[in-house]
Structure 1
Amino acid sequence: MQAVVYSRYGGPEVLSFASVARPTPGDDEVLIRVVAASVNAGDWHLLRGTPFLVRLVYGGYRAPNHPVLGSDVAGRVDAVGRNVTDFQPGDAVVCDLSGHGFGGFAEYVCVPETALVPKPPAVPFETAAAVPTAGVAALQALRALGVRAGEHVLVNGASGGVGTFAVQVAKSMGAEVTATCSTAKVETVRSLGADHVVDYTREDVATLDARYDRILDAAGSHSLREYGRVLAPGGSYVMVGGPTRRFLTTLLVGPLRSLVGRRRFETFVLHPDRDDLARVLDLVASGDVDPVVDRRYSLSEVPDAIRYLEAGRATGKVVVGVA
């Protein structure tokens, strides 16, 4: 089969398009014929081995442990292990491979049965492939914030993968949503249902008179002190994405700031969950959430897809068509 592989840390230039052995499913595994995958920030972090913690948690100290990147996959079941009971060849499925060795940038991948979610018939494969990481992260982060109907939610960094999902999922929860993005992406973000859109090149959301019950920060563009100015008493803030330095600062300082002022500051770490994935796919199938796909690449173009995402130019998700 064809796959995009790498054996040393570096930029997209260390990736190669190569023929590798097709995997064979174990007793509790399913072999998936990949139809589409999507690219996440985690892919280029793993590719480069930075920050160093990535090597300790997922990769290898000196060289990557997993030769094929890619966590978000949608495809069809090709074969099943003898203990598999819930799926059969031909079934359309979606999964997050981040806890199972990755491998999505390939024509085939083996996955434990317990990681799979049926793909809703109404959702195209490429659309479904955009959901697992970003969609579930948005849902879990909003849940961690404790969002309730009628509350005012700020989504900072609303034009990225997580941000575009967060705006729509928050609206489905009944929240009033303010979203920040750059000038070129204002209309796209407004089309997602945001009640208010702040162009950060013209206005600084941290200096506005508005107060927000919940803040989902997918950009890390302000300090906790600045966010504290616009976070209502009793409100909560969660950092989902942004610079590593600011993430670490929030991780260390957030609990201390949460001790005063009746405001909660936390960092967020995604926990892949098939029930949450199924929930977001249901929102997509119902039309409450419409994943934003910026660009589509072929499997052999994965280096270009990662390069484009890493440059920070993408609006929503970058998808890879495989089959």
Structure 2
Amino acid sequence: MKAVICTGYGSPEMLRLTTIDKPVPKDNEICIKIYATTVTAADFRIRSFTVPPAFWLPARLALGIIKPRNPVLGVELAGEIESTGKNVTRFKKGDQVFAATLKSAGGYADYKCMPEDGPIALKPVNATFEEAAAIPIGARTALYFLKKGNIGKGQRVLIYGASGSVGTYAVQLAKYFGAHVTGVCSSANIDLVASLGADKVIDYTTGDLADKLETYDMIFLAVDKCPFAVCNKALADNGVYVNITSPLKTPQMLRASITGKKKFITGGGPSDSAEDLVTLKELVEAGVLKPVIDRNYPLDQIVAAHRYVDQGHKKGNVTITVQSPPSI
């Protein structure tokens, strides 16, 4: 089968289209024929080995010393079940599904085998395979951290990085939960963020951001580019600060949590269950949630797709068509 492998840590040129053996499902696994995948921040971090210095050695041991231990990247996918193991009861051949593959990756290939009890769900009926592939990481992350921060009706929520993958979902989900949402993005993305339901949009590229902020019950950082001092000043006395990219609480966060009632949430992420995917499927089918697709590339242009994502300016998601689904 066709697959893109990562031959070493570094630039997008480390990715190479080749042929590898097709996987065979174990008794409890399903084999998915992949139609679409994505280029996420996780794929970028694994390929380029972009990790905090303190985590360099543990990350090398976990991911691979000189190159990724799992050479096929692609942490989310959508496709159709081609076959199932003899003990599988949850799915059947022909089911259209979408899945997160963060632990083992494998989306940059024609086929992927996964345990049936993993983060897999039936694809939203009103979503294309590319749209469905763009849901499992960004949308699950946004949902997980908003719920962990006890998002609620009437809260004033600031979302920094509102035009990226997690950010576009966070805006829509925060509105769904009844919050008053202020999105922060560049001037080029103001209309996009407003179209997602943001009540107010702030352009961080003009003027002093701190002067534009009000007081918020929750500050949600989808990208870690807003100084903590600025966020802390704008956070209500009993507010919640969420930073999805920070692996650990910083000394400033620890001091602020000791001296006040503010809550600081970092690190972690959603569990490897299908529960959140089922919730997101229902929200997409209800018209509450819409994946934002910036660009789509065929699998043989994966290097170009990674180059584009490396620039750090994508709007929503960048998707990859692995192979075309059969015509109906």
| TM-score, normalised with respect to structure 1 | 0.94
1:112 corresponding residue in structure 2: 115
Residue 240 (str. 1) matches residue 239 (str. 2): no
2:44 corresponding residue in structure 1: 44
Q: Which residues in structure 2 correspond to 1:84-163 (within 5 Å)?
A: 84-99=88-103, 101-115=104-118, 116-163=120-167
Deviation string, structure 1 residues 78-132 (Cα, Å, up to 9, x no partner) = 0111111111110001110112x11001111111111221112222211110000
2:234 corresponding residue in structure 1: 230
SS at match of 1:314: coil
In 2, Cα distance between equivalents of 1:285 and 1:54 = 40
SS at match of 1:114: coil
1:254 corresponding residue in structure 2: 253
SS at match of 1:169: helix
SS at match of 2:320: strand
Conserved in 1, the CA contact under 8 Å of 2:37 and 2:321? yes
1:177 corresponding residue in structure 2: 181
Residue 188 (str. 1) matches residue 192 (str. 2): yes
In 1, Cα distance between equivalents of 2:303 and 2:17 = 9
In structure 2, do the counterparts of structure 1 residues 73 and 13 end up closer, same or farther at CA, with 3 Å as the change threshold? same
Q: Which residues in structure 2 correspond to 1:3-82 (within 5 Å)?
A: 3-51=3-51, 52=56, 55-56=59-60, 58-82=62-86
Conserved in 2, the CA contact under 8 Å of 1:131 and 1:291? yes
In 2, Cα distance between equivalents of 1:114 and 1:282 = 19
In structure 2, do the counterparts of structure 1 residues 93 and 53 end up closer, same or farther at CA, with 3 Å as the change threshold? farther
1:244 corresponding residue in structure 2: none
SS at match of 1:79: strand
In 1, Cα distance between equivalents of 2:227 and 2:213 = 17
SS at match of 2:78: strand
Letter in 1 for 2:140: V
Letter in 1 for 2:9: Y
Offset at 1:258? 1.0
Conserved in 2, the CA contact under 8 Å of 1:298 and 1:322? yes
SS at match of 2:63: coil
Offset at 1:257? 1.6
Deviation string, structure 1 residues 138-163 (Cα, Å, up to 9, x no partner) = 00111111111010000001011000
In structure 2, do the counterparts of structure 1 residues 205 and 273 end up closer, same or farther at CA, with 3 Å as the change threshold? farther
2:169 corresponding residue in structure 1: 165
In structure 2, do the counterparts of structure 1 residues 120 and 93 end up closer, same or farther at CA, with 3 Å as the change threshold? same
Offset at 1:57? 6.5
Offset at 1:169? 0.3
Q: Which residues in structure 2 correspond to 1:210-225 (within 5 Å)?
A: 210-225=214-229
Offset at 1:54? 7.0
Letter in 2 for 1:263: K
Letter in 1 for 2:261: R
The sequence identity of aligned pairs, in percent, is 37
| TM-score, normalised with respect to structure 2 | 0.92
Letter in 2 for 1:261: G
In structure 2, do the counterparts of structure 1 residues 83 and 119 end up closer, same or farther at CA, with 3 Å as the change threshold? same
Offset at 1:259? 1.2
In 2, Cα distance between equivalents of 1:203 and 1:283 = 37
In 1, Cα distance between equivalents of 2:229 and 2:222 = 17
Offset at 1:266? 2.3
Conserved in 2, the CA contact under 8 Å of 1:154 and 1:216? yes
Conserved in 1, the CA contact under 8 Å of 2:6 and 2:67? no
Aligned residues: 317
In structure 2, do the counterparts of structure 1 residues 57 and 102 end up closer, same or farther at CA, with 3 Å as the change threshold? farther
Residue 310 (str. 1) matches residue 310 (str. 2): yes
Offset at 1:58? 4.2
The runs of 5 or more residues in structure 2 that have no matched partner are 324-328
2:326 corresponding residue in structure 1: none
The runs of 5 or more residues in structure 1 that have no matched partner are 242-246
